[in-house]
Amino acid sequence: MPRTAFFISDGTGITAETLGRSLLAQFENVEIHMVTKPYIDSTEKAQNLATVIEATAVRDGESPIIIDTIVDQTIREIITQAPGFKVDIFTTFLAPLEEELHTHSSYSVGRTHAIGKDEVYMHRIDSVHFALDNDDGARVHQYDKADIILVGVSRCGKTPTSLYLALQFGIRAANYPLTEDDLDEDGNLKMPKALATYRHKLFGLTIDPRRLAAIRTERRPNSRYCSIDQCLLEVQQAEALYRRHHVPFIDTTRFSIEEISTRMIAETGLQRRFSPR
157 marked as binding residue = yes
Burial class (CB in 10 A: 0-12, 13-18, 19+), 28: exposed
Residues 6+ apart with CB under 8 A from 33: 2, 3, 4, 5
204 marked as binding residue = no
Q: How far apart are CA 275 and CA 264, in angstroms?
A: 15
3-class DSSP assignment, residue 240: helix
- The pair phi, psi for residue 262, each rounded to 5°, is -70, -35
154 marked as binding residue = yes
Burial class (CB in 10 A: 0-12, 13-18, 19+), 235: buried
159 marked as binding residue = yes
Q: How far is CA 47 from CA 12, 34, 59, 76, in A?
A: 19, 20, 18, 10
Looking at residue 183, the DSSP 8-state letter turns out to be B
First-to-last CA distance in the chain?
33
Residues in the chain: 277
156 marked as binding residue = yes
Instruction: Provide the 10 A C-beta neighbour count for residue 72.
Output: 16
3-class DSSP assignment, residue 92: helix
Asked whether 89 and 29 are in contact (CB, 8 A), the reply is no
How would you classify residue 231: left for phi > 0, otherwise alpha for psi between -120 and 50, otherwise beta?
A: alpha
Count H helices, E strands: the chain? 10, 8
158 marked as binding residue = yes
Annotated binding-site positions: 152-159
Write out the binding residues for ADP.
152-159
